[in-house]
Structure 1
């Protein structure tokens, strides 16, 4: 079995934590993130009900994980309710726990339970200022029940459910969480299964799972994502649940614990850890589907729809600077320390306390010096100077430096002529970058200067996306590799070398799937290979709806397929679909149309999938040096290049004229409206230097 949707909850037993996200609050995370912060249990209960309702409405299965125990040590349920049924405890608590954002009665309820038990009741740790009869502030010497469940006894460092306050107050989490779960079960009758008490034959499953089982994975994620640990925990655990294979999930769910419950994954921490490792997420099924009734799409509408369908699909790794170049940043980066971290000298010279007024000055020179990496250990008294070199930290008593060439040394003194303002030739601490300041933005493709800035501000490693792997496949019986003895009936494959090089120029990893004939079996093998070697597929040829368009037919029969009839020239319908979990961009076979469609549609989409921004092309408004009368209806792209007179276009608009691509240095973009272009008319020029880098 698997789940369509997964969310993990970090629960709190305390009061409202305020509007600012913070630890020890309630966080709800999904595999995709970012997590939600809920300041109190009332908001969290509403949010959980919404998640359940959304899943049921969509017909999806949902797994909700919680980090508090679902049951108590053996014997407690029967002593409290007269039955060993753990749900009887849930209902008992739901009837008595009173909860508001700023107050609750959990300590009084625990005291009443203690009072009803023979001997010393199990609960302890009163955190209130007032004393409560039957609720000791400290752990009693003995209680009438086991201190821990069987599962907790097998967990290193597990706290007891009887503790209500202080570090590790799991008892308060359960007292305040179980009534919420009881109400959700009542709100959605017969739709929720609670593991391991119920058969898992309902659309929603409640699961007890502890983030402490994934401590190493959480630490790795903290290095990459930073922020509040609780927030990182829920996302990490949700990713682990989503990463479990169906056999592993079924094996870990195969537990019998009818009264106490169990901690999911206990004893299988290695399986959970492997499932939590960064993996490429996936686009939603049928992500390219258009609304019903859409016929010819304007280019702007097609791009807007494509933009809404895209999200990053590459895994995030923590890379040393030496291997992070060219990768996309996964998060915003701030300076770990200021640059420079302390005031230092910008020149070789002599430091003193400024300013120096107009006229001659003589200052006694202290023994010693300040050098880069070898600071002066003392203080420079007023009216004295110290030898200081470029990059050296300015010692106490120094705020101004006179250059070597503007001073002289004689008899243990330096002499120079003012004026010299205070702070001259001194770099202030943080004058370049202050500690905590944003330095690099999420999605940035890292260049050498970016790596220098990261290093200068304290970063040895950076969280980056793995390179997007883009497979390229040419199709058609007539297509062959260039060869001197090829008959005229064969077409040399111009698309594959063009597209593979383009992908590499974009900082992505090209995957060459070669050529395949118009044979469904061969196409199937090539597309199946792509699912293990790539994150996206570009095909050329066979993408329309004709008898020999096997790419389109296969996508329709075994994947998903949509023909986007775009009001575009050059270009035919763009076939977009999915094969397995991979998006497929079905390009026209004509190289001119294939390149235009790739630059206009695939380039920005692949950038988002790679973890980067949506890339709008650079548009320059320049005078035309050509004449054209354009009809309304379609957006047109003309091969063009710059001249002294402005922008000229290739003499032929024929989509088979590949020489025009090599001749051109960019494209002229003419919008969907009618237009009359004469020399001097302003036109929009898209340079290849931008589109191909």
Structure 2
């Protein structure tokens, strides 16, 4: 989705009233792309079409300006009612560069050619130059055509295409957009179809959009145009085929139409995920771990909104869009050591240079050093004018007002160049990264005081079962203390999300339904423990099944029983096993990367290391196993018992040993894969 502009180049720094593009693929949205002028935008769009074609994907590209004018205009100008004849007409006459174009002059010429001299186009946007035929206001306005296309009469608040300047005007965008579309259509002849003028049977479709039709207010701190293209791309990408077909069923052979007009409520619907996103293919019984992870990765997408956030609140948050340096680091050439600075290198042998008064220290404003002289410099000081080389303090002698040292020394020695670390405009953090303390240093050093970050993902935790007793209460025979909820809340916090304690619910289906209903709007995702299988008291899976959004994933993993995955009022629900060991392992392996994607983070696979085993183990083929383990004396030792009820093993361990799906016999010294808890963000 592309938000267009009829104005001049808007500069290197992203800003409003520029060209922005939003891309969504397979349910995952890229960060909005800032395009500073139409030349850059046309190049970028052409490259996108090429890359998507090479990947074998079809592409729908929306542009936020009219593809046609009210009936009769095209024939009056070109002698042909075919809108593409009008596209070609504009392409042949528009003169465009990043800093200037002739759109207002051409509008005046059109008015004069149509015999009115005072319409249909109006609003000269050049403050210092009157243009023959183009009035600044509608005083005495004449228009031989309709004021609006049929689409604009239905779209409340839409502007007329005759207005060339002023807030909300689209007239200039049409003038400067149609030539680009005309060139792209010719460049990709046979590959592009334009709606609603042509059947969309080509790999690429061009459609007209109006983002304000369905995109709500932008999150705080985010450029409105950037938000709108991202949001509209998400809305269109989420359309079911039947809805898409109905929206495309429009007859407007000359004027064109606004895609989605009349379907605003459908497009504004905001389910974070489709109800079938967890559905497995028919006939699947036991799902390998890698296949389950791949399915999650493909089907989940970000649900958190972006907001502008000050640097001191950024730690642990997810970057919403690429961050570029506002200032170089270092901003000026500087000295890497304490010593004396001068210009040029020196050959072998003794050298004597007079020393100027004063010194250059970190934070000083650089002065001037005459040629053939030296100055005292301290580490980190900006190099004064006339200094490009520094000799170490330990290698010199000061004799009166002279500096004495023995060469050779190369020009530029012991100095740092401006931008040696980072140059202004360079991308320093990419979208999807979780901000670290080291990142804060980089952001501060490069002039950033705030950045666009995702709101923290809110993850609710519910424990279920009549046998559960809360810590501090009295446990009767047959009851157990709730170990899962504090563990899961702690894991969520360590992942960088916001944990929300939704409490404990006994084996009462109505009470569980009420608790899930109450969580709507409070959280973005839910983890439950217990009740996730198919027994009489497994109420989590039963309720999700009633809602028509349950998939019992029987994953070939130990420890772990089936994962109940589903949707409740638009919230993804991860039904974890009730056993604490299985609950923690399934959270680390499956829920952790899935929650990261929902939060806007890149999919993160844990880093494992091949280390010698300090244990023996015979494993049957058919499922992957995770053993509680820790490193001692350079080898991985495992907990004495594999029992899923041995909670002490979770605390004893420092990570997991992952054994592959295949059968194997592990002997001491054999290589095994050890995944430290730190690789899971713990």
Q: Which category of TM-score, normalised to the shorter sequence, fits these structures?
A: 0.7 to 0.9
Q: How many residues align?
A: 591
- Partner of 1:199 in structure 2? none
Superposition pairs for residues 605-624 of structure 1, below 5 Å?
605-624=594-613
Choose which of 344, 349, 372 in structure 1 pairs with 2:339: 349
- Partner of 1:462 in structure 2? 451
- Partner of 1:221 in structure 2? 222
Q: Is the counterpart of residue 327 in structure 1 residue 317 in structure 2? A: yes
Superposition pairs for residues 365-514 of structure 1, below 5 Å?
365-378=355-368, 380-483=369-472, 485-514=474-503
Q: Please state whether the residue corresponding to 1:459 is helix, strand or coil.
A: coil
Matches of 1:99 and 1:570 in 2, distance apart? 64
- Partner of 1:234 in structure 2? 229
Tell me how far 1:368 sits from its aligned partner: 3.4
- Partner of 2:289 in structure 1? 299
Choose which of 345, 350, 363 in structure 1 pairs with 2:353: 363
Matches of 1:317 and 1:25 in 2, distance apart? 20
- Partner of 1:97 in structure 2? 85
Residues 352-383 of structure 1, C-alpha deviation per residue, up to 9 Å, x if partnerless? 123233443332222333332222433x2222
Matches of 1:500 and 1:26 in 2, distance apart? 39
Choose which of 318, 326, 329 in structure 1 pairs with 2:308: 318
Tell me how far 1:169 sits from its aligned partner: 7.5
Q: Please state whether the residue corresponding to 1:221 is helix, strand or coil.
A: coil
Tell me how far 1:236 sits from its aligned partner: 6.2
Tell me how far 1:558 sits from its aligned partner: 2.3
Normalised by the length of structure 2, the TM-score is 0.72
Tell me how far 1:351 sits from its aligned partner: 1.8
- Partner of 1:170 in structure 2? 171
Residues 575-625 of structure 1, C-alpha deviation per residue, up to 9 Å, x if partnerless? 101111111110011111111111111111112222222222222222223
Matches of 1:101 and 1:285 in 2, distance apart? 48
Cα 1:172/1:597, change in 2 over 3 Å: closer
Residues 173-228 of structure 1, C-alpha deviation per residue, up to 9 Å, x if partnerless? 17987999x98456689xxxxxxxxxxxxxxx9875669x99x9599434xxxxxx
Matches of 1:183 and 1:683 in 2, distance apart? 56
Matches of 1:584 and 1:626 in 2, distance apart? 37
- Per mean C-alpha deviation after superposition, the further-off stretch among 353-362 and 629-638 is 353-362
Superposition pairs for residues 114-193 of structure 1, below 5 Å?
122-123=120-121, 139=135, 145=142, 161=162, 170=171, 173=174, 184-185=195-196
Superposition pairs for residues 576-655 of structure 1, below 5 Å?
576-644=565-633, 646-655=635-644
Q: Retained in 2: the 8 A contact 1:281–1:314?
A: no
Matches of 1:402 and 1:108 in 2, distance apart? 64
Q: Retained in 2: the 8 A contact 1:368–1:376?
A: no
Q: Retained in 1: the 8 A contact 2:65–2:170?
A: no
Matches of 2:62 and 2:415 in 1, distance apart? 58
Cα 1:481/1:338, change in 2 over 3 Å: same
Q: Retained in 2: the 8 A contact 1:26–1:39?
A: no
- Partner of 2:38 in structure 1? none
- Per mean C-alpha deviation after superposition, the further-off stretch among 653-662 and 231-240 is 231-240
* Structure 2: gaps (5+ residues): 9-16, 36-40, 95-104, 125-130, 183-192, 201-206, 238-254, 260-266
Tell me how far 1:319 sits from its aligned partner: 1.3
Cα 1:90/1:470, change in 2 over 3 Å: farther
Q: Is the counterpart of residue 538 in structure 1 residue 539 in structure 2? A: no
Tell me how far 1:473 sits from its aligned partner: 0.7
Tell me how far 1:458 sits from its aligned partner: 1.7
Tell me how far 1:572 sits from its aligned partner: 1.0
Cα 1:183/1:64, change in 2 over 3 Å: closer
Q: Is the counterpart of residue 340 in structure 1 residue 349 in structure 2? A: no
Q: Retained in 2: the 8 A contact 1:342–1:429?
A: yes
Q: Retained in 2: the 8 A contact 1:338–1:457?
A: yes
Matches of 1:504 and 1:632 in 2, distance apart? 35
Q: Retained in 2: the 8 A contact 1:13–1:177?
A: no
Q: Retained in 2: the 8 A contact 1:625–1:645?
A: no
Cα 1:689/1:176, change in 2 over 3 Å: closer
Normalised by the length of structure 1, the TM-score is 0.71
Q: Is the counterpart of residue 689 in structure 1 residue 664 in structure 2? A: no
Q: Retained in 2: the 8 A contact 1:98–1:105?
A: no
Choose which of 640, 646, 650 in structure 2 pairs with 1:661: 650
Cα 1:416/1:494, change in 2 over 3 Å: same
Q: Is the counterpart of residue 308 in structure 1 residue 298 in structure 2? A: yes
- Partner of 2:274 in structure 1? 284
Tell me how far 1:560 sits from its aligned partner: 0.9
Matches of 1:322 and 1:125 in 2, distance apart? 46
Tell me how far 1:32 sits from its aligned partner: 4.6
Matches of 1:101 and 1:683 in 2, distance apart? 69
- Partner of 1:247 in structure 2? none
Matches of 2:603 and 2:504 in 1, distance apart? 30
Cα 1:355/1:294, change in 2 over 3 Å: same
Q: Please state whether the residue corresponding to 1:552 is helix, strand or coil.
A: helix
Q: Retained in 2: the 8 A contact 1:666–1:688?
A: yes
Q: Please state whether the residue corresponding to 1:99 is helix, strand or coil.
A: helix
Choose which of 565, 568, 576 in structure 1 pairs with 2:557: 568
Q: Retained in 1: the 8 A contact 2:65–2:177?
A: no
Q: Retained in 2: the 8 A contact 1:472–1:539?
A: yes
Cα 1:66/1:350, change in 2 over 3 Å: closer
Q: Please state whether the residue corresponding to 1:657 is helix, strand or coil.
A: coil
Matches of 2:281 and 2:79 in 1, distance apart? 46
RMSD: 5.2
Q: Retained in 1: the 8 A contact 2:116–2:142?
A: no
